[in-house]
Amino acid sequence: MRIDSSTYLNTSLLGIQSNQTTIARLNQQIATGLTMLAGKDDPVAATKAMELGNRVSLRTQYMANQEKAELDLKYQTVVTQEIDSTLNQARGLLTSISPSHSASLRNAHAEQLKVVFSHLVGLANTRDPAGNFIFSGFETATEPFANSSIDTIPAMVQPTTYSGTPAPGGVRNIEVENGRYVQANDNLDQVFKAGVAGSDLLQELGEAIVNLQTGGTVTQPDLNGYIALLDSALYDLGLIQHRAAGALTEIKDLRTTTDALMLVEKNALSDLTQVDKAAAIVELQSRQTTLEAISRAYSITSGLSLFNYLS
C-alpha cells in the first residue's frame, strides 16, 4: 500500500509531539520522584493511593497514641513499685514493734515512720516529665494528696485531702487502634482513702506515729489495725499494678502488629506513587534517541517533499 507524503509527514509530526510529551512527563517524574503528577493520570491508582495515604496517616496517629500510653504506664509502674516498697517498709516497722518495748525504741520507730509518711505523700504527688501530677486524674495541674499530720502538734492528726478527680473518675482511655482503647493511668484514691472500712491511710499512719512517740499510748490491737490497713492498701495497689502490667503487654503486642501493617501500607503506597528512577532514566534516554531519529527523518522528508512540490 502506498502512503502519500502528507500522510507520512502528519504521522511523523504526531510521533514527534507524542515523544516530546512523554519526555517532558519523564523529566517531571524523575524530578519529583512521583509516578502520578495529577489524579487524572491514573484515577484508579490515585484513589487507591489516597486511601492508603489516609490509612498511613491514621495509623501514624495510633502509633503516637500507643507510645504515649506506654510511656504513661511505664512511669506509673515505676512509682507504684516504689509505693509498694514504702508500704512494706511501714508494715515491717509496725510488725517489729510491741507495746512492751521501751519508749526510746518505740520513738525510734516513730521517727522512721515519719520518713515513710513523707515519702508516701511525695510519691502520691509525683509529676511526670511534662510536669503533670500523674495521680490527679483530669486535674493534672493540681497536687492531689495533702496531709500535714507530722507537721502539726502530736495531738493534731489530720485527715487526708484529695484535690484530684475522685475515683472512679479521672481515668484516661487512649485510642490505640480503631475503636480500641487502653487505660493509661490509675487513681490512687482507693489505696490512700478506701482501705479497711474507708479508713484514711495517711491519717492512720499519722496516728501510729503519735502513739509510738514518747508519751504516746499504743496497744497491740492498735498495731494490728495499722497492719491490716497497710495490707488492704497493698492489696488495692497490687490490683492497680496488675492492670497496668496487662495494659503494657497489650500495647507491646499491638505496637508489633501496627509496625508490620504500617510497613505493608507504606510499601504499597510507594509502589503506587514512587517512580523507579533507574527505569525512568533508561526510558527517557530511549525516547530522546527515538525523537532525534524521527526529527531528522521528518526534516529530510519534509525537505524532499517541498522540493518535489516546487519542481
DSSP letters, 103-169, are HHHHHHHHHHHHHHHHHHHHHHT-B-TTS-BTTSTT-TTS--EE--GGGS-TT-PPPPEE-SPPTT-
Q: In the predicted model, what is the mean pLDDT of residues 95-121?
A: 94
pLDDT at position 307 = 45
Using pLDDT thresholds of 50, 70 and 90, give the confidence band for residue 94: very high
pLDDT at residue 181 above 90? yes
CA distances from 237 to 138, 174, 204, 232, 250 (A): 20, 22, 17, 9, 20
Using pLDDT thresholds of 50, 70 and 90, give the confidence band for residue 18: low
Nearest to 202, CA basis, from 257, 133, 123? 123
pLDDT at position 53 = 83
DSSP state letters, the chain? ----HHHHHHHHHHHHHHHHHHHHHHHHHHHH-BS-SSGGG-HHHHHHHHHHHHHHHHHHHHHHHHHHHHHHHHHHHHHHHHHHHHHHHHHHHHHT--TTS-HHHHHHHHHHHHHHHHHHHHHHT-B-TTS-BTTSTT-TTS--EE--GGGS-TT-PPPPEE-SPPTT--PPEEEEETTEEEE----THIIIIITGGG--HHHHHHHHHHHHSTT----HHHHHHHHHHHHHHHHHHHHHHHHHHHHHHHHHHHHHHHHHHHHHHHHHHHHHHB--HHHHHHHHHHHHHHHHHHHHHHHHHHHHHHHHHH-
Nearest to 146, CA basis, from 228, 206, 207, 197? 206
pLDDT at residue 1 above 60? no
Q: Which of 34-38, 205-209, 292-296, 303-307 has the lowest mean pLDDT?
A: 303-307
Q: Which of 2-6, 140-144, 271-275 has the lowest mean pLDDT?
A: 2-6
Q: In the predicted model, what is the mean pLDDT of residues 75-98?
A: 97
Mean pLDDT score of the chain, rounded to an integer? Answer: 81
pLDDT in tens, 26-69: 556 566 655 655 555 567 777 787 788 888 999 999 999 999 99
pLDDT at position 213 = 87
Give percent of the chain with pLDDT exceeding 70. Answer: 70
Buried b (16+ CB within 10 A) or exposed e, 264-293: ebbeebeebbebeeeebeebbeebeeebee
What is the phi/psi pair of residue 90, to 5°? -60, -40
pLDDT at position 265 = 87
Domain boundaries, the chain: 74-249
What class is the 74-249 domain? mainly alpha
Q: In the predicted model, what is the mean pLDDT of residues 260-283?
A: 70
pLDDT at position 306 = 46
Where do we find the cell 504521522?
11
Pick 170 or 242 by higher pLDDT. 242
pLDDT at position 146 = 93
pLDDT at position 19 = 54
Phi-psi region of 33 (alpha: psi -120 to 50; beta: other; left: phi over 0): left
